């Protein structure tokens, strides 16, 4: 599936238009509902911003500032020589988020891999109603991220635009029971620069497409009021000429309070920036190329 720049521009424009229409429709519906009776949204669909390697549909309350540490060790199948990945080269991201509106969160972060700086935006478009048949049966959010590879230009880039990559995702979630919530989230990743090669006819060809579609499936089951089991699966959809990424399977335990969320899990994703995970993951969970990861959020 070859993706051209004109097509991606059209896709981005359509996505932005869809988000705006959803927001306007939700505002109009809420105003109509207010004239009859207040429609209260479901609380605590998930315990925080993260579902292991993915974002959740949730946003913090207005005025909340969040500090995030995301850490990924090495793969465990090297065994004792690097103590199951704990002493292998690791990846880490430090992030900061702020909700200046009940439906809008902005953030930025810095990741060890490729020395990437990122800026991100999350919008709550629709919130699931507490009463079925009144309001929305789903919560819907949009998440977007732009990353800049800050390594030196020499040997890494031809042009500074090659440093940029983008991620867009729509998140659809439902709190199905008091203890169980599920989410599906289609996404689109874009890299301005991908690896190429010189073909037999002396032309430069890319080993991968610049754009990549994927979808994630996530679920959380609350064992107690503060502890949950969280699972996630990411499926790549785009087929590239070579270096096709492997799917991701992750399973973990989450502990949450009103001010902290801690997740520890097994995953075969090592990159933390989502477009890098979706497009470049070469760890195969069928070969037990898992690694230990954790996320810590302090609000």
Closest CA to 246 of 209, 214, 294, 291: 214
Query: Domains along the chain?
Result: 5-298 (2.40.160.40)
Distances (CA, A) of 289 to 94, 249, 282: 25, 11, 9
Backbone angle region of 52, left / alpha / beta, with phi > 0 → left and psi within -120 to 50 → alpha: left
Q: Write the pLDDT tens digit of every residue in 158-200.
A: 889 999 999 999 999 999 999 999 999 999 999 999 886 665 6
Q: Write the pLDDT tens digit of every residue in 4-57.
A: 444 554 554 555 555 555 544 554 444 454 445 677 888 899 999 999 999 999
Q: What is the CA radius of gyration of the chain?
A: 20
Is the pLDDT reported for residue 141 higher than 50? yes
Q: Is the dihedral of CA 17, 96, 146, 90 positive or negative?
A: negative
In the chain, % of residues over pLDDT 90: 71
Residue 67 near residue 295, CB atoms below 8 Å: no
Distance CA 164, CA 146 (A): 7
Q: Residue 14's pLDDT is what? A: 57
């Amino acid at each position: 599936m070859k993706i051209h720049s004109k097509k991606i521009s059209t896709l981005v424009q359509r996505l932005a238009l869809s988000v705006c229409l959803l927001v306007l429709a939700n505002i109009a519906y809420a105003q109509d509902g207010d004239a009859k009776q207040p429609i209260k949204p479901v609380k605590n669909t998930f315990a925080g911003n993260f579902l292991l390697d993915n974002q959740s549909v949730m946003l913090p309350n207005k005025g909340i500032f969040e500090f995030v540490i995301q850490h990924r060790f090495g793969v465990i199948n090297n065994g004792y020589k690097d103590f199951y990945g704990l002493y292998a080269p690791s990846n880490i991201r430090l992030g900061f988020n702020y909700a200046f509106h009940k439906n809008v969160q902005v953030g930025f972060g810095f990741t060890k891999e490729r020395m990437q700086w990122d800026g991100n935006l999350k919008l709550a478009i629709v919130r699931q109603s507490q009463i079925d048949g009144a309001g929305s049966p789903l919560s819907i959010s949009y998440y977007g991220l732009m990353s800049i590879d800050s390594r030196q230009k020499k040997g890494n880039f031809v042009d500074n635009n090659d440093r940029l990559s983008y991620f867009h995702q729509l998140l659809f979630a439902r709190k199905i029971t008091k203890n169980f919530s599920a989410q599906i989230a289609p996404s689109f990743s874009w890299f301005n620069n991908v690896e190429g090669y010189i073909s037999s006819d002396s032309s430069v060809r890319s080993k991968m497409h610049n754009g990549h579609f994927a979808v994630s499936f996530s679920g959380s089951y609350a064992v107690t009021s503060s502890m949950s089991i969280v699972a996630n699966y990411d499926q790549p959809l785009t087929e590239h000429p070579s270096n096709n990424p492997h799917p991701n399977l992750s399973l973990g335990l989450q502990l949450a309070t009103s001010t902290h969320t801690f997740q520890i899990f097994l995953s075969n994703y090592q990159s933390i920036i989502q477009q890098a995970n979706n497009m470049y993951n070469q760890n195969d969970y069928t070969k037990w190329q898992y690694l230990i990861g954790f996320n810590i959020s302090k609000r």
